[in-house]
């Protein structure tokens, strides 16, 4: 199924930015359908994709339009926003057949390494869990280290507590140890986060994250080692020198962001409640004027990833209990990202 979709522009509350209409088209093709809340998505060296399903606890593979089951992760507790969440493919996958997963159990959120077909081996445990704000995004940085976005697990004080793994961005070795050079001699890389959902890097090495706000402002942040992003004191900008203000903010009705990807010199930020993809140009000093793609075309959007074939891929999240699924949901969509 191939669709031509125009850009839809919405009012956005931004940090010194305004929105202008840009006439453009984006070609999209649904490459997988009837999935159950796909959450993490990553590509293997052979060009096939692996993805997780939050509620079924399955790791699945998409190859040439066909979806097959790889394995089911034991011990996953799929309650509320928890379940089998993020997935990151090892940079040495061709040698070790290993991926990393983030998942919720009955007692915690944890990160495990998985040699495909074998039992997961937890490398980080004890990340606070709740029905909401579990974070869950995993990504390897250009430094070869593994990064994880966590949520405050519904307890706002966690975000400012350096001893807690909740409400943080974590940076670790593939064995789960604190990465060399981390600012607090722990896994913690940055703090003061409500619910980090997306992590990506520009070609010059800048780390960007998308973060769910409470009732007013969702955030796009540029992440720096040791920086404090203000939650729960700040939702959006607070102009407090103790905290880093976001690069851009949106109302929660226009975004409620999940994953984020760097693609064609822009950030692509998926909107859940906003039911659109925000395309945000990256400049030398920050970001440019955002514009909206696919508004109300695919419903709730969860995870965008730049594919090895030069296309952008993204997942829908209409069967997560908050959407209005159609028969084809959930889907993985391929786009030229125009």
Q: Over the stretch 124-145, which tens digit does the pLDDT of each residue have?
A: 999 999 999 999 999 999 999 9
pLDDT higher than threshold 90 for residue 323: yes
**248 in a structural domain:** yes
Report the domain count for the chain: 1
Residues 6+ apart with CB under 8 A from 320: 37, 54, 300, 302
**93 in a structural domain:** yes
| pLDDT, average across residues 152-160 | 98
Task: State pLDDT tens for residues 2-18.
Answer: 433 333 333 333 333 43
- What are all long-range contacts of 130-134, with beta carbons under 8 Å and residues at least 24 apart? 130/80, 130/82, 130/154, 130/155, 131/79, 131/80, 131/81, 131/82, 132/80, 132/81, 132/195, 133/81, 133/166, 133/194, 133/195, 133/212, 134/81, 134/82, 134/85, 134/104, 134/109, 134/195
Q: What is the pTM of this model?
A: 0.93
1 or 249, greater pLDDT: 249
* CATH number, position 245: 2.120.10.30
**319 in a structural domain:** no
Question: What is the greatest pairwise CA distance in the chain?
Answer: 51
**The two structure tokens encoding residue 12:** 């956005």
Task: State pLDDT tens for residues 62-118.
Answer: 999 999 999 999 999 999 999 999 999 999 999 999 999 999 999 999 999 999 999
**250 in a structural domain:** yes
**281 in a structural domain:** no
Which residues form the domain of 198? 36-256
| pLDDT, average across residues 275-299 | 97
**276 in a structural domain:** no
**7 in a structural domain:** no
| pLDDT, average across residues 207-222 | 97
Res 25: pLDDT: 57
pLDDT higher than threshold 90 for residue 182: yes
Res 18: pLDDT: 39
**307 in a structural domain:** no
């Amino acid at each position: 199924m191939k669709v031509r979709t125009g850009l839809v522009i919405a009012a956005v509350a931004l940090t010194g930015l305004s929105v202008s209409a840009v006439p453009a088209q984006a070609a999209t093709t649904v490459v997988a359908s009837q999935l159950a809340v796909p959450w993490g998505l990553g590509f293997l060296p052979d060009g096939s994709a692996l993805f997780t399903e939050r509620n079924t606890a399955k790791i699945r593979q998409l190859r040439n339009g066909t979806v097959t089951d790889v394995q089911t992760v034991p011990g996953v507790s799929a309650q509320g926003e928890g379940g089998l969440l993020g997935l990151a493919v090892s940079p040495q996958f061709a040698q070790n057949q290993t991926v990393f997963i983030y998942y919720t159990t009955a007692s915690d959120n944890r990160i495990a390494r998985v040699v495909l077909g074998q039992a997961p081996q937890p490398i980080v445990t004890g990340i606070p869990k709740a029905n909401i704000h579990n974070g869950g995004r995993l990504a390897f940085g250009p430094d070869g280290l593994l990064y994880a976005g966590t949520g405050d697990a519904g307890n706002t004080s966690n975000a400012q507590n350096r001893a807690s793994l909740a409400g943080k961005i974590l940076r670790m070795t593939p064995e789960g140890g604190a990465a060399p050079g981390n600012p607090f001699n722990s896994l913690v890389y940055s703090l003061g986060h409500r619910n980090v959902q997306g992590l990506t890097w520009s070609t010059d090495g800048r780390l960007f994250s998308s973060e769910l706000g409470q009732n007013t402002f969702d955030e796009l942040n540029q992440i720096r080692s040791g920086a404090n992003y203000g939650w729960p004191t700040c939702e959006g900008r607070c102009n407090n020198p103790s905290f880093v203000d976001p690069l851009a903010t949106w109302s929660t009705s226009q975004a409620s962001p999940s994953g984020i990807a760097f693609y064609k010199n822009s950030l692509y930020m998926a909107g859940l409640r906003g039911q659109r993809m925000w395309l945000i140009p990256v400049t030398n000093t920050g970001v440019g004027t955002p514009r909206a793609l696919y508004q109300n075309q695919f419903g709730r959007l969860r995870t965008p990833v730049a594919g090895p074939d030069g296309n952008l891929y993204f997942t829908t999240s209409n069967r997560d209990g908050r959407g209005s699924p159609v028969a084809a949901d959930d889907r993985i969509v391929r786009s030229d990202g125009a």
